[in-house]
Structures are given as C-alpha cells and as structure tokens.
Structure 1
Amino acid sequence: MTFDEYVDKIDEKWRESFIRTWDVISEHLPEGFEADIQHGMPGFVVPKDRYPEGYHVDNEPLPFIGVASQKRHLAVYHMGMYRDKNLYDWFTREYPNHMTTRLNMGKSCIRFTNPDKIPYGLLGELAEKMTVEEWIDLYESKR
C-alpha cells in the first residue's frame, strides 16, 4: 500500500486531521528519518542504509513514529516515548498546556477522538525532540 492509497481509505471525518498531523510531524522531524509504510500504517523510520540491523522483530527499518487513522480515533505512535521515560514525562506534563481535553494515551500511542482537538504545535515539538542517532542509541541500549 502507498501513502496515497492509505489516505484515500481514511474516513472523511479524519482525513484532514490525519494529513495535517502527518505534515506537522514531517516538517519537524530531524534529518535522517524516512517515510515508510509498516504494519499497514504510514510512519517514519530509520532507513536500513543508516541502521542496517533494522527492527529486531521483523528486520524491517527501525520504526520511530507512526500515524494511523482508526475507526474512532487518530493515533500517533511514538516509539521514542515508549523507550524514554523523560520524553514520556515531558509530553504528559506539556499536554495540559496545549489542550483542555483529557490525554488519552498508552506507553507509545497517543489517541485523539475529536479531529478538532489535536495539539499540532505540541506534536511538532515532540517530533523535534529526538534525532536519528539518539533514537538508535536508545533502541540499542534497551534491547
């Protein structure tokens, strides 16, 4: 599946929010990450030419951030927050400064149930917080 095919299948309610979320993350990511489709969703990965070992589970490029439109929500999967407690804590502290809605999140998955209530600025800041090198080092240190 291509990115455009994925976007074409998104429910109209979520399409604009998905594209805006994707664009914000893409514009704020440090250099070196690459767009890819993994596990049926678009995301950003560390390419194999940068990290040949890839993801230990399936030997695909190392995933970093995924963006998915689900039936009832838009999800941003940030693997760095899953591995870095300080980054996770920063995000959970910052969220109330950007939104009045309750944070709906797991260890790496941030869920937005209202397409009109997505903190794009905060997602941009989050995307800037970790370089490719920092992500590889963190990934390797926790294997």
Structure 2
Amino acid sequence: MVSSTAPTVSDYLRELPEEKRAVMQSLRSIVQKNIPTGFQECMQYGMISYVVPHSLYPSGYHCDPRQPLPFLSLAAQKNHFAVYHMGMYADPQLLSWFQEAFAAHYPYKLDMGKSCMRFKKPEQVPVELIGELAAKMSPKDWISLYEGQLKKKK
C-alpha cells in the first residue's frame, strides 16, 4: 500500500492485511492514549493523521491552507511502517531526545529522514516510544514552533 484513498481511518484500517492492521491499530491506540488534547484524528495525504484543526489554527497548512496543520501521521507502506512527526523536524532537542531514547532501547539502526521514521518489520516498531513522542508537544507548542519556522524561511 503506497497511498490510501480511504475516506476514514476505519476504512483505512479495514483495507490493510491483518499483520499490518495489527501494528497500525497498536500505533493508533498508543497515539490516541498519549497525544495532548486539541489534536484531531483524520485521514490526510492517505495516512492516519493527527492535525491541528482549523478551529484552533484557522490559517491551516501553509502549503495548502484548506488543509489543517499536520503534526503526526501513521502509514503502512508497501515495505515498511512509517511514522511522520513534524515536531521532530522543527525541534532539534525533540529529535535528539527521540534518537537517544531509540538507541537506548532498540538494538537496530533507526531509519529516519527529516520527519519520517521507517520500520521494516512489525516487531521493530517502537510502539511505546511513539506514544511517549506523541505526548511531548501540545497543539499550542506545535503552532508556536511551526510559525517560528515559517518566519525563518521568509
């Protein structure tokens, strides 16, 4: 599965093979348990996403203001599971915390891009650590960091 056209999270999960569905349900559950109040779950860009809704941030995403501000996304790709965390991309201290926590608890190398972590095998997905990561930034914190990054680019 590369990018889903499922309109709802339930539809997205239903279309996954059982092994991938189990991992995605675990990730979704831990994020829902830990993510601060104010973020909203939806489907965005073909992934399960947690966004700052327009009701909290009317400006929306600068790339497409019709979209709510993305924060965290979960995806079951063809050959891996992906977790996207925009806060780590914008906050070097949060990125450093995650990389150190991952290295301390997992014996394999972290496969990571700017905001995307990739896990090839279901047993390699650090579900509990993703839960901790989800809890570390409120919508207000994310908006402030996001706007600060936008100002730097102008």
Runs (4 or more) in structure 1 with deviation over 2 Å come to none
Q: Which consecutive unaligned segments of at least 5 residues does structure 1 have? A: none
Post-superposition offset of 1:13: 2.6
Identity %: 43
Distance 1:14 1:99 in 2: 20
- Residues 75 and 112 in structure 1, CA contact (< 8 A), matched pair in contact too: yes
Taking structure 1 as the reference length, the TM-score comes to 0.96
Q: C-alpha displacement at 1:72, in angstroms? A: 0.6
Q: 2:68 aligns with which of 61, 65, 88?
A: 61
Q: Aligned partner of 2:19: which letter?
A: K
Write out aligned runs for 1:81-92 (5 A): 81-92=88-99
- Does residue 145 of structure 2 align to residue 106 of structure 1? no
Alignment partner, residue 8 of structure 2: 2
Alignment partners' CA distance in 2, 1:81 and 1:117: 20
* Partner of residue 44, structure 1: 50
Aligned residue for 1:111, secondary structure, equals strand
Which residue in 2 is equivalent to 1:15? 21
Q: Verify the 8 A CA contact 1:65 1:78 in the aligned structure 2.
A: yes
How many Å separate the matches in 2 of 1:57 and 1:37? 17
